[in-house]
Amino acid sequence: MTVILLRHGRSTSNTAGILAGRSEGVDLDDKGREQAAGLIDRIGDLPIRAVVTSPLLRCRRTVEPLTESLCLEPLVDERIAEVDYGEWTGRKIGDLANEALWRVVQAHPSAAVFPGGEGLAQVQVRAVAAVREHDRRLADEHGGDALWVACTHGDVIKAVIADAYGMHLDGFQRVTADPGSVSVVRYTPLRPFVLHVNQTGARLSAALRAGPPPKDASKGETHGASNEEPQKEEPQKEAAREVPSSDAVVGGSTD
């Protein structure tokens, strides 16, 4: 299963230098609206099966053009909502940089708990659990690999990427997730593969297609296969199919 982790487009709080957190009514600015509209060209031609979004307005606005073009109804999931920054919510970033907790967030984010809010470790647990659950649900619904979008927030994406990389949460500040960026993780039974991080270019790789349906071990058949005669694949792709999807290709990808 493959998830496109989409950070919302640039918001009015981003341009004002304010930590929006879970503040109500924070919308996209002009550039953010352009980024949202641009998603149709960037990822709209990919076989996206579902769009899950944070409940906050800036995320819902970001996915509106894409879901309309795909004729999909977005699913709202509180578990991928923004960090509850508590008393830090609505304050200027420049002022927060002078707080003692700021250094903890930079160097030891696993120990950071925002006053009156939640800890970053809690954020990672809830967000990763949500992504994994949607992966399982979509695998069951579509009989194997499926591509889906989760529209969420910067620190949430960084926490999910850190987990996918197998790095300690204290290293998550090494990950960047700009407004309007996409990061891509493919989950397999053995390990996750991080395919893209902070991609802001014109179009995602066309290689983001569903993998082959899972084989029936007892019959050597694939679930969901059609009666049409299969097309012959290119040699390097045919060779790649011989490697289990959970395994890393020794020597590197052949594509």
- Tell me the pLDDT tens digit for each residue of 29-48: 999 999 999 999 999 999 99
Would you call 233 helix, strand, or coil by DSSP? coil
Share of the chain above pLDDT 90, in %: 75
Looking at residue 245, its pLDDT comes to: 64
**How does DSSP classify residue 28?**
B
Q: How high does pLDDT run on average in the chain? A: 86
Name the pLDDT band for 253 (thresholds 50, 70, 90): very low
- DSSP 3-state assignment of 202? coil
Between 3 and 207, the higher pLDDT residue? 3
| 123-171 tens-digit pLDDT | 999 999 999 999 999 999 988 789 999 999 999 999 999 999 999 999 9
Pick from 190, 165, 170, 199: nearest CA to 4: 199
Using the predicted structure, report yes or no on whether residue 201 has a pLDDT greater than 60.
yes
CA distance 44 to 203: 9
Separation between Cα atoms, residue 99 and residue 130, nearest integer Å: 31
Predicted local distance difference test score (pLDDT) of residue 39: 96
Q: Which of 103-117, 196-210, 225-239 has the lowest mean pLDDT?
A: 225-239
pLDDT at 9 (0 to 100)? 97
The predicted structure's pLDDT at residue 216: 53
In the prediction, which pLDDT does 148 show? 96
Give yes or no for residue 214 having a pLDDT over 90: no
pLDDT class for 222, splitting at 50, 70, 90?
very low
Q: Which residues contact 226 (CB under 8 A, 6 or more apart)?
A: none
Position 231 pLDDT exceeds 70: no
